[in-house]
Amino acid sequence: MILTVRFVVSIVVAAVLIGLSGRWAPLQLMGISLIAAAVTCVLFDWFQLRRIALEVVRTCDDKLSLGAENLVRLSVRNSGYSRIRGAIRDEYPEEFAARGNVQPLNLQPRSEADISYYVTPPNRGDFAFGDIYMRVLGPLGLAIRQIRFPMRREVKVYPNLLDMRRYEIGQKRSRAVQPGQRVVRLRGRGTEFESLREYVPDDDFRTIDWKASARRGKLITRQYQEEKSQNVIIVLDCGRVMGSIIAGLTRLDHSINAGMMLAHVAALRGDKVGLTAFADDIIAYSPPRQGRSQTLNLLRLTYNLANASGDSNYYRAIPYLSRRWTRRSLVVFFTDLVDPESSKPLISQIATLAKKHLCLCVIMSDPDVVSDARGDRLENPEDAFRAAAARQVLHDRQMAKAMLTHAGVIVLDVPPERFTPSVVDKYLEVKARAML
């Protein structure tokens, strides 16, 4: 039982009255009566608080999304006949950021209430929610009962699953057929043969099937559709260079979020997706496979990848990938470029790989460095030095990007807020243009 300020004030007033009773005797009786009344009211509150009947249920996903606001819902039921006033607090993992986990409670007899709040995990891995605590105020406001509900629960923090669900819902809505509409197969510029038809003036001469034209005595063209079951390999650099924090997450965490979103979209489009993760040695490898089960497999491989540490050994990782997988694929590297000299191992190895595969190198620009390079506010010599250093960093980075582009590698350099959408858009562009 916890005594409230109201009870303490009552006792202090009674003590003052008793202390002044030397000047006027009736004050002593008033003080003693006030103490007796306060104690009686506290006992009444305690008796009522012992009779309350509360039930609490926590609802949240077992797999939370990294860097996103995840909904946690608390369902509170008052099955007694007394009104419940107080506050409720959920014990979320201490590493998380939370919004609204402590909320007031006001329940009428025989009623229920749903309380929601949000948690934002900053890291991937295994975590646990603790117990739920509730403080209930007595009817007279002189005592508080604190109740603990044992609710420990293990959760896993995965790459951003919420974005995957939103994308899938959007795809389903876009594919929904409204009344009066009909489904039409869209024929694009892919390389997978779909059908033959008569030539029309706008057709490309390269699509003419000369043998079929000779048999029929008129020009016949081939129609192609977007390829199915192409190969996409995600390569995650888990080295020290990916450990810097941008927009609340490390470069590695941003890369895993984008990579898993890419895997999800590719799986929905029928492509095979694989993954290689490395630092100074190979950390994880999964050859390209098809289907949603492969996406789940990649999520299991990446949700607990260690934070970036050690140097990135490109001389081991890229030859390893070349030996393990020989079919032409879209190989998407999530890494970072510093300058031509520091990035020489990466540039030389990707350039070799690009002779057989279509390589996409995805790097994240640092908004702080870009802002410093602009030099919008040069108020002292330190600001000028910072701006000059930032410009040199961007210049060296541009040179390294130019070397990769010259080697036939597609380079995508985007800010954190556009990182995942840009990767998905580039993949869809590769598919639409039949570049693979």
The per-residue DSSP string of 147-205 comes to EEE---EEEEEES-HHHHHHHHHHHHHHHPPPTT----PPP-S-SEEEEEEE--TTS-G
The pLDDT-based confidence of 237 (bands split at 50, 70, 90) is very high
**Is a pLDDT exceeding 50 seen at residue 412?**
yes
The pLDDT-based confidence of 252 (bands split at 50, 70, 90) is very high
Q: What is the pLDDT of residue 179?
A: 44
Whether residues 10 and 124 share a domain: the answer is no
Whether residues 236 and 363 share a domain: the answer is yes
Q: Residue 342's domain is classified under what CATH number?
A: 3.40.50.410
What percentage of the chain has pLDDT greater than the value 70?
Answer: 91
Q: What is the pLDDT of residue 210?
A: 86
**Is a pLDDT exceeding 80 seen at residue 115?**
yes
Q: What is the pLDDT of residue 411?
A: 95
**Is a pLDDT exceeding 80 seen at residue 172?**
no
**Is a pLDDT exceeding 80 seen at residue 344?**
yes
Q: What is the pLDDT of residue 129?
A: 95
Q: What is the pLDDT of residue 185?
A: 44
Cβ 48 vs Cβ 81: under 8 Å: no
d(CA 69, CA 3): 37
Classify residue 180: in a domain, yes or no.
no
Whether residues 305 and 212 share a domain: the answer is no
Which of 187-191, 271-275, 311-315 bottoms out in mean pLDDT, i.e. has the lowest?
187-191
Q: Which two tokens stand for residue 281?
A: 């040695």
For the chain, the maximum distance between any two Cα atoms, rounded to a whole number of angstroms, is 128
Compute the mean pLDDT over every residue in the chain, rounded to the nearest whole number. 86
Whether residues 7 and 63 share a domain: the answer is no
Whether residues 9 and 97 share a domain: the answer is no
**Is a pLDDT exceeding 70 seen at residue 308?**
no
Which of 207-216, 271-280, 317-326 bottoms out in mean pLDDT, i.e. has the lowest?
207-216
Whether residues 276 and 368 share a domain: the answer is yes
Classify residue 168: in a domain, yes or no.
no
- pLDDT greater at residue 221 or residue 133: 133
Classify residue 174: in a domain, yes or no.
no
Whether residues 315 and 390 share a domain: the answer is yes
Q: Which residues contact 422 (CB under 8 A, 6 or more apart)?
A: 362, 412, 414
- The DSSP bridge pattern shows strands 231-237 and 272-278 to be parallel
Q: What is the pLDDT of residue 180?
A: 43
Q: Residue 63's domain is classified under what CATH number?
A: 2.60.40.10
Whether residues 298 and 280 share a domain: the answer is yes
Whether residues 145 and 221 share a domain: the answer is no
Whether residues 35 and 113 share a domain: the answer is no
Which of 1-15, 136-150, 317-331, 393-407 bottoms out in mean pLDDT, i.e. has the lowest?
1-15
Answer with the one of 225, 240, 270 that is the final residue of a domain. 225
Could you give the number of structural domains in the chain?
A: 4
Classify residue 103: in a domain, yes or no.
yes
**Is a pLDDT exceeding 90 seen at residue 56?**
yes
Strand partners, 78: 54, 111
Whether residues 122 and 46 share a domain: the answer is no
The pLDDT-based confidence of 52 (bands split at 50, 70, 90) is confident
Whether residues 414 and 282 share a domain: the answer is yes
Q: What is the pLDDT of residue 183?
A: 40
Q: What is the pLDDT of residue 184?
A: 40
Classify residue 147: in a domain, yes or no.
yes
Classify residue 189: in a domain, yes or no.
no
Chain centroid to CA 213: how far? 54
Q: Which range marks the domain in which residue 7 is found?
A: 2-50
Q: What is the pLDDT of residue 304?
A: 83
Classify residue 169: in a domain, yes or no.
no
d(CA 345, CA 340): 9
* pLDDT tens track for 185-225: 434 455 556 678 888 887 777 788 888 888 888 888 887 66
**Is a pLDDT exceeding 90 seen at residue 168?**
no
